[in-house]
Amino acid sequence: MHELARTNETAFYVFDVKKLKERVAYLKRSLPQDVELCYAVKANTFIIKELIGSVERFEVCSPGEAEICAGLGVPEEETVISGVNKTPDVIETMVASSDRRIYTVESMTQFELLRSLSGKYGKTLKTLLRLTNDSQFGINKSEIEEIVRNRNDYPCLDILGIQFFSGTQKTSFKKLRREISHLDELLIKLRDEYGFEARELEYGPGFPVAYFEDEDIGEEELISQFSDALCSMQFKAKISLELGRSIAACCGSYCTHIVDIKRNKGQNYLLIDGGMHHLVYFGQHMAMKHPVLSVLGKENEEICEAWNICGSLCSMNDIVAKQVLLPRVSIGDAICFENTGAYCMTEGISLFLSRDIPAVYLKKENGDFLCVRKSFETSVLNTPKY
């Protein structure tokens, strides 16, 4: 890591493949034996290939993600095509080429699209009916019941079961237990009232990640209680858990260099060549919590002073952390932020101020570093063409 910090002129990410696979193994050990994992690729597209063979499915929410997965060799039968905007032309191309993918039904409009395409191409399409969580996602319970009631009218749609996702960073087992109970009741009702034996429940529990110092989420106990609740369900068919952040976060590190040091009105400031456009989940807390970080090469040095760490954007909001205790630092030192494997590189405002996009490295299981995306200028993306 020290060598990468020396050779990279600006900020970069590192995703540790060994940590990633250890995380997947931990989740599989901790969950009921027959529960499968579905990776939400929106969390981090750079680790998809490393997860092939380790997870059972990949959730794809856009044409761009579908193209990435295809290019990386994700088997079609392991993809769940999800998302609120299933572009008709793209979905038709998928249906025309294969009947191996699974499609979620996010709206009655999407249901009609899939029904029409299945008939047009004479292909049986596997579907999951997404139950809404009282938001813009999914369809109502009554609509699910209507589809199930009339399922014989749709012979080319193979309705596998239900899909449900209600949020992220959920630390309350009581909420998870309520959700499991609610899903179980619906699945049993579909069986008892409509004779529909769902073969699958895909559930996004939104397991939390500890991003900040002294943050105790009690993960081991939470997953243990969650597993017991799954095992107590009357529904006994296949369960797959859709996870993104919980799988990816721990494998990522984000390194950024100190480019300036100053003291304004009694406050110490470190200016870095990254910022909130790269560390979205740290920046959104307005720096009131301290992310897990270290100064590369000075991990064992004595802590001596408090600093406000600020990014390169011309925005008052670009404060990564306030009053962080650090060893003696100098311009050119690199600060490494941990647990940045999910969303940081894709959900930040990366094009703001036309700063460079960071490079991305994979740390392979043998310890070697592989550059999978070079740093590049964003000015060309922000320049109008006449």
pLDDT, tens digit, 9 for 90 and up, residues 249-265: 999 999 999 999 999 99
Report pLDDT digits (tens) over 51-100: 999 999 999 999 999 999 999 999 999 999 999 999 999 999 999 999 99
> Helices (H) and strands (E) in the chain — how many of each?
13, 17
CA angle (101, 106, 110) in 5-degree steps: 75
Higher pLDDT, 360 or 345: 360
Overall pTM > 0.85? yes
| Secondary structure (3-state) at 34 | coil
Q: What value does the mean pLDDT take over residues 241-249?
A: 95
* % of the chain at pLDDT higher than 90: 79
| Secondary structure (3-state) at 329 | coil
Residue 340 CA from chain centroid, whole number: 11
Query: Whose structure tokens read 């500890």?
Result: 210
According to the model, what pLDDT value does residue 191 have? 97
* Residue 57 token pair: 């499915």
Closest CA to 382 of 357, 348, 346: 357
pLDDT-based confidence at 215, cuts 50/70/90?
confident
Query: Whose structure tokens read 């998870």?
Result: 176
Q: What value does the mean pLDDT take over residues 22-33?
A: 97
> Is the pLDDT score of 283 beyond 80?
no
* Distance set, CA 49 to CA 78, 249, 362 (Å): 13, 16, 11
> Is the pLDDT score of 284 beyond 50?
no
According to the model, what pLDDT value does residue 243 have? 96
**Phi/psi of residue 208, each to 5°?**
-80, 160
H or E stretch covering 320: strand 319-326
